[in-house]
Amino acid sequence: MVLTVRGGATELELEVEEGRLRLTGFRNLESGAEYLRPPRHPWKGRVGNPFMIRVIRGKAFGTYLAQLDFKVTGSLSTPEGGAQVEMIGERVPVRAELEVDPTPVGVQLTATIWNLSDEPLDMEVYLPMFVGAVVSSTEEDRVHLPLIAGSTLPISRPFRHAYIGQLAAPFLIQEGQNEGFFILDENKNDLLDGGKIAERLEAGENPFIMRSFASSDRFAGGGEAHIGHFVAEIHSVRLNPGQRATLGPVLIAAFRGSRWRALGTIRERRSSLPFRDPPDWLRKTFVIGEHGAREGSFGEDLRRGLELNRSASADSFHYYGYWAGDGKTGFKPYVSRGNYLIARPEMGGEEELKEAVRKVHELGGRVLFYVEGMIVWRESEIGERAREWAIMNPDGSYLEVYFNFWHMCPACKGWQEWLAETCAELVRRYDADGIFIDSICATNYHPCYNPSHDHPSPYVWNWGVRELLRRVREALDGVKPEAVILCEGCADLAREFADGFLSHGHVWSGFTLQEPITRAVYPLINDYESWGEGDEPERLLLWNFATGHRIYSHAAGRERVAPVVERVRRAFEAVPELGEAVVIGPMSVSPENVICYRLMGRKLMLAIANLNPREATVSIPLPKGAKSIREAVGGEELVVNGDRISISLEG
């Protein structure tokens, strides 16, 4: 029996034969290309296509393949042009139902799985798992990910990234020569409130799922095998006996054209996600800096901090290291994350810090107070209490990524309450302009098995991050509603309560940030990107500007790039909507090392940056329908020669 489902430009072909299910076709209906090229080796050819389950602990530990280990107990075509398949595991105590539905954009997969055993099952469900998915060739294909700000990789490079903490949104794009496909998870469980979660748990459904995206050419299952390139979404879930989980819907959509067409579609699909409106002062802030407390009085130190940041065009900055040390270990105060309400006595204490912030305000500056969202120093004032809020591994040990720190569980109510109260007190006590929460959207997803937290699932990270930020936002609203929350990293679901992000996207992606993937989907993400710590920070800074990213003016290289930052700030101030405009895509310009991106606000904008060390005369194609172009900073009309315009840019 062959089940063919078509939606948009996508066709999936499923075959049910001798009680087994396999995916036999994945086609682009616009180009006619077949993307599925599975290995011909009998065993390798049965991996994935369309799914695989790994049980990662317990009596059922092992890997189970859809084509080998699940018997089809029922299948049918739906009147809407979809398909439904029911299956039972023959070696694993799992029942599964797969729904394949057409949509105007692509094909959606939704799976429901039940735990039929007498013990909890910790599972990784690879759905979809496309083995041998190639658009053009393994040499030409690229994968685009919303890894913080973005990442572009050859499909030959293995990866596995979780949403959130690494990925800012739950999707990937695989692109070949002028066509490709994307996978977008549209499950909204992370947005459920406590009441809805309780209802689902009562009904036997566990809604907590960790989602990752992965690609490799190897498969480990009872040995390691080269199976050719695969790309997959991985759903990590823990089910108690009798419980079920619903995975997806996952949208699979083929497209003709470039990745920018796919990004536009994803932008439309994600546009309903709730985003907070930042206060007007932050919307007009295009450069944010940082300053760590050094020595002397708080008054001297914050005055020096404002001067240093203004040397790189930042009037606003986050302030760290202002808290007292532990008095035990001899480490510098900066290490004692957790002592935020104890101002360093050697710098003047609480009253001196209050006065120092007041003077910064008098000088037109703004100060955000730093707190750490995910770790607490064990010797800090709250070290003993923090132990109760810490993440545990499955074996009962405490997670320790950083030496001598407790790693906080974001879903633990005790930690949520303490951090929210602390942030509100910092804002109230010092009249701070906001809070910068370190690590909160930049830390890898960690399941929590701490029994004292009474989690219904260890995979509560995303829900916990959102709930923690909600608690902080409510606490700040009670003392100073215009106070902002900035988070380290980048995550779409955090923008409901956070006003923006400070990120090192270039460094964290291993300098694979080649396209503004996240900003293209979320024009209002409000991500302040740093220039990294490489050999050419000016190039990365100018790339940030050309793609509409605001600037995180961090200390490394600040003096070197200060002249370029000043020019970038002037450009943003001349066209404030650049930081919220929709990124349409790049334009080809000459000479080399000049980049140009098209962005749409009230009008079409071209953001052009000369990456050459010397002045360059840039030739740009006249955008379709444009009769004239005005240079925004200087205000002059540019000369149009035929179908091109020319402009001279400083090096």
HEC sequence for 272-341: CCCCCCCCHHHHCCCEEEEEECCCCCHHHHHHHHHHHHHCCCCCEEEEECCECCCCCCCCCHHHCCCCCC
What DSSP designation does 639 have? P
3-state secondary structure of 79: coil
Phi, psi of 285 (to 5 degrees): -105, 115
- Which pLDDT value is given to residue 533? 79
Please give the Cα distance from 174 to 182 (Å, whole number): 6
In three-state secondary structure terms, 67 is helix
**pLDDT value, residue 53:** 96
Query: What pTM, to 2 d.p., does this model score?
Result: 0.95
pLDDT of residue 43: 66
CA 11 distance to own-chain centroid: 29
The domain at 280-503 falls in which architecture?
A: Alpha-Beta Barrel (3.20)
3-state helix, strand, coil in the chain (%, to 5): 25, 35, 40
Parts of the chain belonging to CATH 2.70.98.60: 2-269
Omega of the bond prior to 120 within 30 degrees of 0, cis? Answer: no
Residue for token pair 């029911």? 86
- Of the candidates 475, 476, 474, 450, the one whose C-alpha atom is nearest the C-alpha of residue 461 is 450
Q: How far is residue 475 from each of residues 283, 416, 438, 492, measured CA to CA in Å?
A: 22, 11, 18, 21
- CA distance readout (Å), 347 to 351, 358, 413, 436: 10, 16, 34, 22
- Counted residue by residue, the chain has a size of 651
Token pair belonging to 176: 């070949």
Q: Under DSSP, is residue 189 helix (H, G, I), strand (E, B) or coil? A: helix
Rg, Å, the chain Cα set: 26
Rounded distance between C-alpha atoms, residue 176 and residue 134, angstroms: 8
Mapped onto helix, strand or coil, the DSSP state of residue 580 is helix
How far from 649 is each of 564, 567, 595, CA to CA, in Å? Answer: 12, 11, 12
Token pair listed for 245: 């989980």
Q: How close are the terminal C-alpha atoms of the chain, in Å?
A: 64
What number does CATH give the domain 2-269? 2.70.98.60
The answer to whether the peptide bond before residue 621 is cis (omega within 30 degrees of 0) is no
8-state DSSP, 515: S
Query: What pairs with residue 232 in β-bridges?
Result: 129, 214
Closest alpha carbon to 243 in 195, 200, 190: 200
Return the pLDDT at 186. Answer: 98
- Supply 221's token pair: 């299952």
Which residues, 6+ apart, have CB-to-CB distance to 387 below 8 Å? 378, 398, 406
Residue 575's alpha-carbon distances to 270, 278, 569, 597, in angstroms, are: 26, 18, 10, 15
Answer for the pair 215, 167: CB distance below 8 angstroms, yes or no.
Answer: no
235: amino acid identity, one letter: H
At residue 572, the 3 state secondary structure works out as helix
As annotated, the residues of the chain forming the CATH 3.20.20.70 domain(s) are 280-503
Nearest partner of 212 among 447, 398, 373, 35, judged by Cα: 447
- Regions in the chain scoring below 70 on pLDDT: 42-43, 219-226, 639
DSSP 109: E
